[in-house]
Amino acid sequence: MAHCGIASRRKAEEYIRNGMVKVNGEVVTKMGAIVSEADKVEFNGKPVSIEKNKVYIMLNKPREYVTTMHDPQGRKTVMDLIRNLNERVYPVGRLDYDTSGLLLLTNDGELAYRMTHPSYEIIKVYIAVVRGYPSQETIRRLESGIEIDSYVTAPAHVNVIKQYENKTKLEITIHEGRNRQVRRMCEAAGHPVIMLKRIKLGCLALNGLKSGQWRFLTKHEIKKLKGMM
Ligand code: URA
């Protein structure tokens, strides 16, 4: 009831004690009874809708963490980094074990669906350090669409940031989210990825968030995210 904005926790307990709350038609006076979304809860004769407290988190994922909830191989998962959070959240999309950077986690299923569905074309910006010095022609191929496993990628944006020690640092913007897409694009172009980090997802940017740290999105960020879709 406190989650649904009906009353403070203390007040809710008082209402329950006074027999004002029914679950599936039965008055409940026991504190801490657990209800699920399938249960019919009534307060003072009126139905209460069980709204989950929506939580939105930005994590700067370090390398060598998986973005699944559990790993059969026993590797560290991003859930290990957000241990002391009360709500259960899930990663939106995925980053490879060796990729670092911006990962969104939430319990808002609708937003997660929209962020990952290809039709919404959410942009993702990566910093990729690749082997060698890609030519202008190679950059153009990466931008206009390159064949990876008999599929041609959608147009992308590629900026060369700097070249050094037989490596090139690129900023790559895509709006698809195929498995290992950036690595496969660069590999197909003849310049394998040495380091990959996501710095932006839609209107969200990693900015100064340190590796392994997380923070709640601001109200403004949530509003902008929802407005994009
Ligand atoms: N592209 C990749 O190759 N890996 C990622 O983790 C994300 C995008």
Structural domain count, the chain: 3
pLDDT for the residue numbered 173: 98
Lowest-pLDDT choice from 11-20, 35-44, 63-72, 101-110: 35-44
The active-site residue, picked from 39, 71, 80, 96, is 96
Spacing, Cα 122 to ligand 1 middle (Å):
15
The predicted model gives 4-32 an average pLDDT of 81
The verdict on 134 and 194 lying in the same domain is: yes
Q: Report pLDDT digits (tens) over 139-173.
A: 999 999 999 988 999 999 999 999 999 999 999 99
The verdict on 109 and 208 lying in the same domain is: yes
Output the domain CATH number for residue 168. Answer: 3.30.70.1560
Cite the beta strand spans of the chain per DSSP E.
21-23, 26-27, 41-43, 46-48, 56-61, 90-91, 100-106, 124-131, 147-148, 151-152, 157-164, 167-174, 193-201, 204-205, 214-216
Kindly state whether residue 4 falls inside one of the protein's structural domains.
Answer: no
Q: Is 183 in the pocket of ligand 1 (CB under 6 A)?
A: yes
The verdict on 197 and 128 lying in the same domain is: yes
The verdict on 215 and 173 lying in the same domain is: no
Q: Would you call 96 a catalytic residue per the annotation?
A: yes
Output the domain CATH number for residue 41. Answer: 3.10.290.10
The verdict on 17 and 68 lying in the same domain is: no
The CA distance from 117 to 92, in Å, is 11
pLDDT for the residue numbered 52: 67
Spacing, Cα 179 to ligand 1 middle (Å):
7
Kindly state whether residue 218 falls inside one of the protein's structural domains.
Answer: yes
DSSP assignment of 108-156: -HHHHHHHH-GGG---EEEEEEEES---HHHHHHHHH--EETTEEPPP-
Spacing, Cα 182 to ligand 1 middle (Å):
5
Whether the predicted pLDDT of 7 surpasses 70: no
Tokens (6 digits) for 87 = 């709500």
Q: Is 100 in the pocket of ligand 1 (CB under 6 A)?
A: no
The verdict on 164 and 175 lying in the same domain is: yes
Whether the predicted pLDDT of 42 surpasses 90: no
The verdict on 113 and 149 lying in the same domain is: no
SS3 185: helix
CA nearest ligand 1 atom 3, residue: 180
pLDDT for the residue numbered 51: 59
pLDDT for the residue numbered 35: 80
pLDDT for the residue numbered 229: 58
Domain extent for 19: 9-47
The CA distance from 137 to 70, in Å, is 42
Closest CA to 134 of 185, 189, 183: 189
Q: What are phi and psi of 165, to 5 degrees?
A: 40, 50
The verdict on 134 and 187 lying in the same domain is: yes
Confidence of residue 91 (pLDDT cuts 50, 70, 90): very high
pLDDT for the residue numbered 118: 87
The predicted model gives 27-31 an average pLDDT of 88
Measured from the Cα of 183, ligand 1's closest atom is 3
